[in-house]
Amino acid sequence: MRRICLAFCAALLLTACGANSPSSSAGPPSASGPDGYPVSIENCGRKPTVQSEPKRVVSLNQGSTEILESLGLADRIVGTATWTDPILPALAAANSRVPRLADKAPSYEAVLGADPDFVTASFTSTLGPGGLATRDQFAGLGVGTYVSPADCEGKAATGGDGSRTTPLTLDVIYQEITELSEIFDVRARGTGLVSDLQARVRAATASVQPTKPSSLHPRRTATVAFWFANSQSPYLAGCCGAPGIIANSLGLKNVFDDTEAEWPQIDWEVVASRDPEVLVIGDLTRKSQTAETAAAKIAYLESNPVTREMAAVKNHRYIIVTGGEMNPSIRTVYGIEDVAAGLRKLGLAG
């Protein structure tokens, strides 16, 4: 009965069209009608049409939730789940009114129990085969769906976290903000949020002036590695995900920019041989891997006989960021700001 009611209540919201490849590029939203609807948008190989303004959204990942809240849509969020970090301070008041369905992945039944007319996610692994449910399952109930284009454009699902054939850019994150603002009919808010983030990126990059530029890389300040999680088989950032945006924005050299895998697991002996000057360390609040917190990571680095000989460890050149800043979302902009500040503090930038 719940499914029947859900389909009846939400049937006017979505017509899902056929799927293409998961890495197909997204186009700009198109709308018709005096109220801006319907809105059709190419999204991760699908082309759903939103017939009217969504009123009850479940956001299945923290990154997606924080974008919706930044657009002033907290009052429309009837459920959120899968959190890795504390809420951004600026969003704390809005987020306090949003029901938390689960700290990690919620059940399909819990999501349906929130009676959504729209569902968003940051990752195809959340809203797809092997995840909570497929987009077709929600479409069959008349529930619209949206997945962050950052997790499908230029990305191949080749196992693990996948790989990227095309470097991720901030434009894709801005695209997500713009498209969600179109879907929820808050276009002016979307434009304002993008403009604010762009200004913050300009300020952060302008604050970093290399102290030792080279003729080949006049904007390069240091070599760097990004460690997300796991001490035994650490996940280090490859070339082209959110850490790539941070490195490229600040003129840094990621010592693993020769791999397209988004988060390859790399032996510490290999990391030590690359000997980065700076380690950007994720400070995670979850408890699913070893060495999740920054404190645990630093303790491991300084006690392991291989890692303690690295230049970054010997010189205590650590920059701590949240886990969310290493994933593509509005937090990536915070990552640019935090790494820029860290470089200044370490004396590696003017």
83/60 same-domain check = yes
Task: Provide the domain limits for residue 258.
Answer: 211-345
CATH number for the domain spanning 167: value is 3.40.50.1980
47/179 same-domain check = yes
- Which helix (H) or strand (E) segment is 145 a member of? strand 144-147
**254 in any annotated domain:** yes
**336 in any annotated domain:** yes
117/164 same-domain check = yes
**177 in any annotated domain:** yes
183/241 same-domain check = no
165/55 same-domain check = yes
166/260 same-domain check = no
129/55 same-domain check = yes
192/341 same-domain check = no
**205 in any annotated domain:** no
Residues found in the chain = 350
172/275 same-domain check = no
Predicted confidence (pLDDT) per residue in 191-248, tens digit = 999 999 999 999 999 998 754 554 444 445 689 999 999 999 999 999 999 999 999 9
Q: What is the pLDDT of residue 233?
A: 92
162/18 same-domain check = yes
Question: Residues 64, 47, 20, CA angle at the centre, nearest 5°?
Answer: 100
How much is the pTM?
0.87
**202 in any annotated domain:** no
Question: What are the distances in angstroms from CA 304 to CA 38, 44, 75, 257, 307?
Answer: 58, 42, 48, 25, 5
**201 in any annotated domain:** no
Alpha helices, DSSP H, located in the chain: 2-10, 62-70, 92-95, 108-113, 135-140, 170-183, 187-206, 242-250, 268-274, 294-303, 311-314, 331-345
Q: Which of 162, 196, 230 is the last residue of a domain?
A: 196
DSSP string spanning 78-90? EEEE---SPPPGG
Other beta carbons within 10 angstroms of residue 9's beta carbon come to 17
DSSP 8-class letter at 76? G
Cα 46 versus chain centre, distance: 20
Query: How many domains does the chain contain in total?
Result: 2
Predicted confidence (pLDDT) per residue in 64-107, tens digit = 999 999 999 999 999 999 998 999 999 999 999 999 999 999 99
**Is the Cβ–Cβ distance between 122 and 329 less than 8 Å?**
yes
230/312 same-domain check = yes
In the predicted model, what is the mean pLDDT of the chain? 87
Q: Which of 196, 229, 248 is the last residue of a domain?
A: 196
Question: Residues 96, 100, 101, CA angle at the centre, nearest 5°?
Answer: 165
Q: What is the pLDDT of residue 32?
A: 52
Instruction: Compute the half-sphere exposure of residue 301: CA atoms within 13 Å on the CB side of its CA.
Output: 27
Residue 47, pLDDT above cutoff 80: yes
**225 in any annotated domain:** yes
